[in-house]
Amino acid sequence: MKINQWIKVAALSVSAVFSATSVADDDPVKVGFVYVGPIGDHGWSYEHDQARIEMEKYFKGKVKTTYVENVPEGADAERVITQLAKAGNDIIFTTSFGFMNPTVKVAKKFPKVTFEHATGYKRSKNLGTYVLRTYEGRYVSGVAAAMESKTNTLGYIATFPIPEVIRDINATYLGAKSVNPDIKLKIVWVNTWYDPGKESDAANALIDQGADVIIQHTDSPAPLIAAEKRGVMGIGQASDMSHYAPKAHMFSVRDHWAPHYIDTVEKVMAGTWKPQDFWGGLKEDMIQVVSINPNLPEKVKTAIQTTEDKIRSGAIVPFTGPMKDNQGNEVIPAGHSLTDKELAAINWYVEGIDAKIPN
């Protein structure tokens, strides 16, 4: 999710996109997408764009989409979202946490446009939110990584200290601890969604600390490539990254956004759309474990499948009490599983993680 060369390039691309899609009212429903990073062939923005393409094909000419990539979070995002609204888009999806406040502002100015913001929590009459239960994939990752680790140390490359990321770190550790109570989780924060150089440095720093499986919340394959060079293992993020490091790659946790995009557009077309906070995970086929390395031990492959199945069925609910944070405070009472609202507000590390959340 790299911020680069946006001002000049995006201004031109936005202008071109808008002029190309200026159509009459009786033409297809117009849907705009805003991406924080480059589409490329991997990662977060790539999978949002794959979902856009899948959605457009599903409607067979009834929907026309546009997108803008490499949009910085902040004032630039507000300008891009505004331009998409002015261009006549009926629905606009903004696909990064940092687009939240810009989306809120623009939604107020364009009450007839339907807005949906990914991973946020602010809603209004024409603004809904949607998020994936990525923590379910992280729990599976933790189980498999802990079984594969020979050093009892896992490494996690974290982006920004927001609830989504903290939640996923915790889920990784909870999954790992469920099969190895002695497992350690080392964390390096890079304060970026996409920066291959920083990601590679973070992976190497974690490996130097003894981590022999690298889990990443960042968007490039650089951590996997670094893992392969250093002879350790890694897990791909958001999309299938197996071809970048075929030896090191254990599997990837893929984000599959298309079901929600299709459902949202259908509801807008039918006049039944209402703002909601939508969550999709393994059960909805919106989180997928893909490209499992055939060279993994059979017991690890079996554990991956079993853990997935148990999460789908509800036999495993990762954030279920009793649970303490790493300061010894009870954060989930016995018998209680966190609600989606509570999941969206996590600001603590689970007991056993020896680290502090940065400000």
Contact in structure between 193 and 37 (CB atoms under 8 Å):
yes
Terminal-to-terminal C-alpha distance of the chain: 21
The confidence score (pLDDT) of residue 23 equals 36
The confidence score (pLDDT) of residue 27 equals 82
CATH class of 134-254+287-343: alpha beta
Per the DSSP assignment, residues forming a β-bridge with 66 are 32
Q: Which of 249, 245, 246, 154 is nearest to 207 (CA)?
A: 154
Q: Where in the chain is the domain with CATH 3.40.50.2300?
A: 6-132, 134-254+287-343
| DSSP conformation letters of 212-243 | -EEEE-SSSSHHHHHHHHHT-EEEEEES--GG
Backbone angles phi, psi at 331, to 5 degrees: -110, -20
DSSP state of 71: P
Contact in structure between 230 and 38 (CB atoms under 8 Å):
no
- Put simply, whether the predicted model's pTM sits higher than 0.75 gets the answer yes
The confidence score (pLDDT) of residue 74 equals 86
The confidence score (pLDDT) of residue 234 equals 99
Q: Which two tokens stand for residue 65?
A: 């989409």
Q: Which of 100, 62, 64, 54 is nearest to 81 (CA)?
A: 100
Neighbours of 302 (CB within 10 A): 12
The confidence score (pLDDT) of residue 149 equals 99
| Mean pLDDT (10-residue bins), the chain, 359 residues | 36 38 63 96 95 98 97 94 99 97 99 98 98 99 99 99 98 99 99 96 99 98 99 98 98 98 98 98 98 99 99 98 98 98 97 97
* CATH for 6-132, options being 3.40.50.2300, 3.40.50.300, 3.30.70.20, 3.20.20.140: 3.40.50.2300
The confidence score (pLDDT) of residue 21 equals 34
